[in-house]
Amino acid sequence: MTAAVLWDVEGRTRKATLAGRTGPVNAVAFSPDGHTLAAATGTAQHPPRAHDYTLTLWNPATGSSPVKLTGHTDRVMAVAFSPDGRTLATAGSDRTIKLWNAVKHAQQATIDTRAASNAVAFSPDGHTLATARRDGSAILWDVSKRSRRATLTGHTRAIRAVAFSPDGRTLATASIDQTVTLWDVAHGTRLATLGGHTGPALAVAFSPDGRTLATASADTTVVLWDLARRSQLATLAGHTRQVRSVEFSPDGRTLATGSDDHTAMLWNTEPRHTEAQLCASVARDLTPKEWREFLPGIPYRKTCTGSRTRSVPPSATR
């Protein structure tokens, strides 16, 4: 897609379409104050054209002309704001990380990563940057020193997404190898591997309270995980093609997912509500096998009969 679309969550309506005319939008990020939307753009070009590989900044409130920052020499695949909103990090196919002053719209530094990157994330304190590499490793960087802190290895294929827990102690990585790995940030060691998907894991997000992890996959599903027990809470099914993005609302009650089926869906993250959604979709009691597939974290019972469950499927926007 060559534009970023803004939606009114309550009204389920399109608010604006922001087009920068610089090629496909590969990733987007809002600043912490919500006043700036950043988009990473670019597609493969032979020969490459630097002006197609941009970081584009919009002010959604004013609709003013976007600011375009250039410097990458290949596709910009990822973008993230620092927690204080003053710094932007971008990474991509040119094997570099670039740090930008988000206020002055100027490049601050370039870090040679020696491998193409698919994702980037700041730790909650802003001191550490994580990047996902196509060689199956994740790198932790010291932001102030512009140096590598640790290399996390264990995945067997490219990592597509990274996310820090709210307390900054854990990093989650999602990989083409169909697994999600949890890492101890302080020690650079693996804590657990979550293997509930049957296709590549493409996106990952922590809930604001840090208790739940959402993972999205090419198998068309989203899985909610209980992090304390390292077990599945629920499987969210509704998309018809691979799910590429996932994010919690600030209050943690809603999950947004984006898919190649050209829809964005909003989900209630409470397992009991997920149970009701599934019952409403099939209009009958779930079989024990279906229950274990979609609600593995809740004991089986017949709850879909009569008037006990009244719900609607997740909201979808196109």
Q: What pLDDT is attached to residue 266?
A: 93
Q: Which helix (H) or strand (E) holds 37?
A: strand 37-41
Least confident stretch, 61-70, 105-114, 147-156: 61-70
Q: What pLDDT is attached to residue 310?
A: 31
- If one counts every other C-beta atom within 10 angstroms of the C-beta of residue 229, the result is 9
Q: Which residue's entry shows tokens 């309550």?
A: 10
- Averaged pLDDT, 100-108: 96
Instruction: Return mean pLDDT, the chain.
Output: 87
Q: Domains in the chain, start-ordered, CATH in brackets?
A: 196-318 (2.130.10.10)
Terminal-residue alpha carbon distance, the chain: 13
Q: In what order do the strands lie in the sheet with 117-122?
A: 117-122, 128-133, 138-142, 147-152
Kindly indicate the confidence band of residue 299, based on its pLDDT and cuts at 50, 70 and 90.
Answer: low
Kindly indicate the confidence band of residue 7, based on its pLDDT and cuts at 50, 70 and 90.
Answer: confident
Least confident stretch, 146-160, 174-188, 217-231, 262-276: 262-276
pLDDT surpasses 50 at 309? no
**What does the block give as tokens for 140?**
């932790």
> Please, are residues 173 and 162 in contact by the beta-carbon 8 Å criterion?
yes
pLDDT surpasses 50 at 125? yes
Rounded distance between C-alpha atoms, residue 136 and residue 281, angstroms: 38
Q: What pLDDT is attached to residue 65?
A: 81
**What does the block give as tokens for 46?**
């032979």
- Averaged pLDDT, 137-144: 97
- Averaged pLDDT, 20-42: 86
> Please, are residues 82 and 122 in contact by the beta-carbon 8 Å criterion?
yes
Q: Which residue's entry shows tokens 């067997």?
A: 156
Q: How far is CA 294 from CA 130, 205, 231, 299, 304, in A?
A: 31, 19, 12, 12, 14
Q: What pLDDT is attached to residue 163?
A: 98
pLDDT surpasses 90 at 311? no
What digits encode the pLDDT tens for the residues 35-56? 999 999 877 654 555 557 889 9
Residue 73, helix vs strand vs coil: coil
Residue 155, helix vs strand vs coil: coil
Q: How far is CA 164 from CA 44, 103, 106, 125, in A?
A: 29, 24, 26, 10
What digits encode the pLDDT tens for the residues 244-272? 999 999 999 999 999 999 999 999 887 56
Q: What pLDDT is attached to residue 289?
A: 76
